[in-house]
Structures are given as C-alpha cells and as structure tokens.
Chains A and B, each alone.
Chain A
Amino acid sequence: MSKYIILGVVLVGLAAAPLTGDTYLMRMATLACMYAVMAASWNLIGGLTGYPSFGTAAFFGLGAYTSGILATLGVALPVSIAAAGVVAFVVAAIIGFILLRLKGHYFAIATLACVELLREIANSATDLTGGGMGLNIPRNADLGIFAEASLFFFAMWGLLALTAVVCLVVERSKIGFALSCIRQAEGAAEMIGINSTLYKTLAFALSGVFVAMAGGVYASWVHYIEPGDVFDILLTIKPVVMALIGGVGSSVGAIVGAIVYIAAEEVIWRNYLDFSSGIIGLTVVGLVLFLPHGLGSLHLRLRGKAVTP
C-alpha cells in the first residue's frame, strides 16, 4: 500500500506549486512532471519487461512535432496532444514489433538509432517541420504569464496522474504479470502460453504514448521546437537514470527518481554551472556502483548489508 501513499503525497505536493504564485517554481514543477511521465513510461519497457530501451527521445520528439505541426494548422491543444499520443502508439507498436526480437545491447542500440533516424528525418523534412530552422508554435490565446504557466503545469500534472494510474493498473493486471514473466525467462513464458511478441509490443507502445503526449505539451509550452532539442539523446538517458534512482521496476520509484533528479540537477546548475554535468556524472557513477537498486536500497547499505549490482 505504501507506494500509493507515496504517489499521492508526490502528486499533491506537486499540485501545490501554483499556490506559491512563483513562476520559477512552477516551471520546475512542470519539468519534474514531464520527466516523471517519461521515467514511469520507460519503466514499463525497461524496468517491467527488461528491454533496455533508449528510444524515449524518439517518442518525445515525435509527439512534439505531431502536436506542434497540428497546432500550426490551428488544431486545439487537447486534440493535438491526444493526436500525438495516438500517432506515437501506432509508430511505437510498429517499431516495437520489428525491434523487440532483439535483446540487450542490440535492442538498446536499435532504439537509439531510431532517435537518430527520426531526428534526421525531422531535419530534412523542411516543408513539414521547418528543418533545422525549427518550428514556431502559435500561442492559443494571450493568457498572461502566470495563467499560461498554470495551464501548462496542470496539463503536465494531469498527464503524470494519468500515466501513473495506467502504469499502476498495468503492473497489477494480467499484462504486468506477463511482462514480469517475459523479463525473467522469455522462453519459459512462451511455453506457458504467453504471446511474448504481443505483450512486449503492447508495453513498448504504451511506453511511447505518454512520452509523446508530454512532448506535445512541451512543444506548446515552449512555443518553439527544433530537431536537436526534442530528439536530444539526454531525453533518452535521463529517464533511465531517474528510474535507476528510484529502483528499476517500480513506476512510483521512477516518478520519485525523476523529482529527485530534477531538484538535484537544478541545485547543481545554480551553484556549479561550469561543473554541472560532471557532478551529475559523478552522481550517476556513485549510484550505479553503490546503490544499483535505487535510493530505496539505502537502508540496506546503511545496515551494512551487501548490495550487489
């Protein structure tokens, strides 16, 4: 039960951000929600199913461009974001069906290559995406700075709540059971009647949907996207690190990991600008070597128990 309590506290805590009236704090909270969506989504395929996907940025960019292009055509925000989710589901299902026969490093590299490929397509499809010049996304209406910040915060927050609910339902359902079997012994899973291709593809497609919707919200939030920005490799790596912080396999862990990461990154950025990425690197190295099961295993470490990677 405790994970539901943690999730409730996190969501309520984040929702308090607008009450402060501080746009900076709201920006950070929006960013935290965005990454939490991505980390929880990654956990579906990377944590639950055990396929190390590095394709998160592909779906983020796909969603950002789908929604952004629709917005330039005058489509309303909720519709364009829903469309981003649908497009990502279909594309992820196709990619997943093809690539999920690969395992381990091969799968990781194939998904990474998808990010590169989509970025290059966005770069060259100038008519549609504006290419390297980027794409300006019109504002829906002049709301004023704070109202607009609130709008996008709640859009991201709502998306996080939706993602969290879907992830928890999946984890508890027959689908989650099947994914867990596939992670532990795929051959044996097939042999007891699990259609592993179907379930893996479903997990991969679901992991793409919310990431793409977050990309859609992001595009409207920042009003301008370019391929290097929304297909950034860091958008692929950070959610993995966040899930590691929270302990791979738990969606609530991934969400908490995302918030911890964003908060830590901001503190480091503000205080040690020149060395920020190095310090983040040190943190990642320390995490992998000393707390491979996430912050949740800290109490084991402190009690002197062995924590092997």
Chain B
Amino acid sequence: MIFVQILVNGLVLGSLYACIAAGFSLVWGVLNVINLMHGSFIVLGAYLALGLYLSIGLAPWWSLAVAAVLFFGIGYLIQRFLINRVIAAPVLLSLTLTFGLDLIIQNAMLYVFKADYRSLKLDPALGSLAFGSVVVPVDRLIAMIFALLLTLALYIVLRKSRVGRAIVAVRVDQGAARLLGVNIPSIYAIAFGIGTAMAASAGTLLALTFPIAPVASYAFLGKAFVVCVLGGLGSVPGAVLGGLLLGLVETFGAYALGPEFAVMLSFGLLILFLVVRPQGILGRWGFE
C-alpha cells in the first residue's frame, strides 16, 4: 500500500511540476529565451494568493484567474520592451538580461515580503480524503486538479486559438510565419505573457502546498529546467510527461534513498538526459 501512497504523492507533485514547466517550456521553445525570472514569477503568484486570502479571503484557486490576467500583462510588457531587443543576439545576452531582471525582482520581493518562509493555511482546513490506507490532503488534490486544468487550457489555446496557432507557426518556421503576415515581435510578447501567466498561476496553487519565500524561486526554476529537458521542449504534452516523471522519480527516490537525495537525483537525471537524449522523451528539439 505504501507503493500506491508514494505513487499518488508523486502524481500530485508531478502535476504541479508540469504546470510550472509548461510556460517555461513555451518561452524556451518559441522564443529561444531561457527565462531566469520564471521562478520569481511563481513565487510572486504565491504571494498574490497569500495576500488575497489574508485580505479578502479569496481562495487560492480563484486568485489564479487574477494572477493569470495580471501577469500576462507584466510578461507582455517585459518581452515587448526589454527582451525583444536582444532576441536576435547570442544566447548569452538574453540569459544575462533575464538574470539581471530577476535580481531586481528578487530584491524587491525581499524588501516587501522579507526573507522568511510563510505558508497559506486555509481556515477551516480542508482535511484529507482516505481511500483505504492511501491518504490525500484535499488542498493538494485541488491544487493538482487546477494545475492539470491550467495545463490543459494552455494546450487548447495553442491548438485551437488563432493566437495559439500563430505561436506554434513561429516555433516551427519563423520565416514562413513572417511571410504569412504574422507579427513576430507581437507573438513573442504574447508567448512570453502566457509563460509568465502560467508561472504566476502555478504559484497561486503552490501556495497551498509549499511554504513560500523569495529564495524558493530557485528551486522552482530548477524543476522547470529538469522537466523541460526530460519531456522535450516547447510542447505541452512534453511538460506534462516530464513533470509527472520528475514527480515520481523524486518521491520514489526520496523513499528509497532518503529525502536528501531527491535533488541530486533530479539533477543527475537532467545531465543523463542531456547527454543521452537531449531532445527529451517526446523527441522535440528546442533551440540550441
């Protein structure tokens, strides 16, 4: 039975990882930008959920909508006015730019929220569901369901909407997309906005399950890296597959080897995949 419990824990964790990584993967895959601010946007989303819950009692899964709209705008503006300027330059410059921007956000977060960890405790607590000896906390279950819904929503937007198809077209063949009249800088900004919105929305859900502090951003960023490489870049199914895989590897690894090995395991896996199968499980190459 312990096996099933670990499996369930792994899937819950994995769904959140998938949601964290989906936006990051989109930005990397479409824009060829590794957004080092991604972790900070997640944390900001979590603080937003915390703030809205403490001030007006809004539950985190409703804050999600607020975060999505607000951070889409923020991401759009950052891409439009800052990152678009170095998008054609070598990888090093866009990477350094997002690092510099992240330093600013981190500093602002430390100043406003202080360095200590805080958690969002729902009142009254939602308790747990028990299936035989397998126990699942309800708040985690809700977070998992919303994370999967959010990821599914992204998938549908990319597949069905005009903007989504334009984003996919830019990813597949930029030259052809331009010839078809797609406004590339605008599509970049929208894609980055979506990536940012996904990060912050995921953050509102993470507030339910993880303690939040400005420095937590780096751990989330690290997960996004690993998931993207495991699943393959720029595809939502890849992010889901990579996320679930990482969640399972971490929970089973922690059980078998001890929790201190979970991080080592995930980065070991990352390097292994980069060397053996850098295109990820689903075989999608990103930009180099």
* Touch test A–B (CB under 8 Å): yes
Binding site for B on A (CB under 8 A): 46, 50, 52, 98-99, 101-106, 108-110, 112-114, 116-117, 120-121, 123-124, 233, 237, 240-241, 244, 248, 274-278, 280-285, 287-289, 292, 308-309
Chain A residues in 8 Å Cβ range of B86:
288-289, 292, 309
A123 cross-chain contacts in B, Cβ below 8 A: 260
Q: Which residues of B contact A241 (CB under 8 A)?
A: 96, 99
In the bound complex, CA of A281 to CA of B40 (Å): 14
Q: Within the complex, what minimum Cβ distance (angstroms) separates A62 from chain B?
A: 16
Given A52-B91, A233-B218, A244-B96, A277 contacting B267 (CB threshold 8 A)? no
Q: Which residues of A contact B4 (CB under 8 A)?
A: none
Would B96 and A240 count as touching, CB distance under 8 A?
Answer: yes
Closest Cβ neighbor of A279 among chain B residues:
B107
Tell me if B229 counts as interface (CB < 8 A to partner A): yes
A278 touches B107 (CB 8 A): yes
Residue of A nearest to B34 (CB): A105
Does the CB pair B103–A117 fall under 8 Å?
Answer: no
User: Apart from A116-B267, A120-B261, A287-B100, what 13 extra A-B contacts exist at CB < 8 Å?
Assistant: A52-B95, A109-B229, A109-B274, A120-B267, A124-B261, A278-B103, A278-B104, A280-B103, A281-B100, A281-B101, A282-B100, A284-B100, A285-B101
Least Cβ distance of A126 to chain B in Å? 10
**A108 contacts across to B, CB distance below 8 A:** 34, 91, 95
Q: In the complex where A102-B278, A275-B111 touch, is A117 in contact with B271 (Cβ < 8 A)?
A: yes
- For chain A, what secondary structure do more than half of its interface residues adopt (helix, strand, loop), or is it mixed? helix
Query: Given A121-B264, A275-B107, A281-B103, are A110 and B93 also a contact pair (CB < 8 Å)?
Result: no
Q: Contact: B270 with A248, CB < 8 Å? A: no
Q: Offer 13 A-B interface pairs, CB within 8 angstroms, sorted by A.
A: A98-B275, A104-B287, A105-B34, A105-B91, A106-B288, A108-B95, A113-B274, A120-B261, A120-B267, A278-B103, A284-B97, A288-B93, A308-B89
Complex interface bits, B82-116 against A, C-beta within 8 A gives 1, otherwise 0: 10011011111101110111111011101100000
Chain A residue nearest in CB terms to B218 = A233
Q: Could you list which residues of chain B lie within 8 angstroms of chain A, going by C-beta atoms?
A: 28, 32, 34, 82, 85-86, 88-93, 95-97, 99-104, 106-108, 110-111, 218, 222, 225, 229, 260-261, 263-264, 267-268, 270-271, 274-275, 278, 286-288
Chain A residues with Cβ below 8 Å from B82 are 285, 289
* Bound CA span A121–B225, Å: 20
Question: What chain A residues lie within 8 Å of B101 (beta carbons)?
Answer: 281, 285
Task: Provide the bound-state CA to CA distance between A289 and B86, in Å.
Answer: 7
Inter-subunit contact A278/B108 (CB<8 Å)? yes
Pick from B34, B95, B106 the residue with the most CB of A within 10 Å. B95
Question: Could you tell me the distance between the alpha carbons of A45 and B92 in the complex, rounded to whole angstroms?
Answer: 12
User: How far, in angstroms, from A89 to B263 measured CA to CA in the complex?
Assistant: 26
Task: Return the contact of B288 from the options A103, A124, A244 (Cβ within 8 A).
Answer: A103
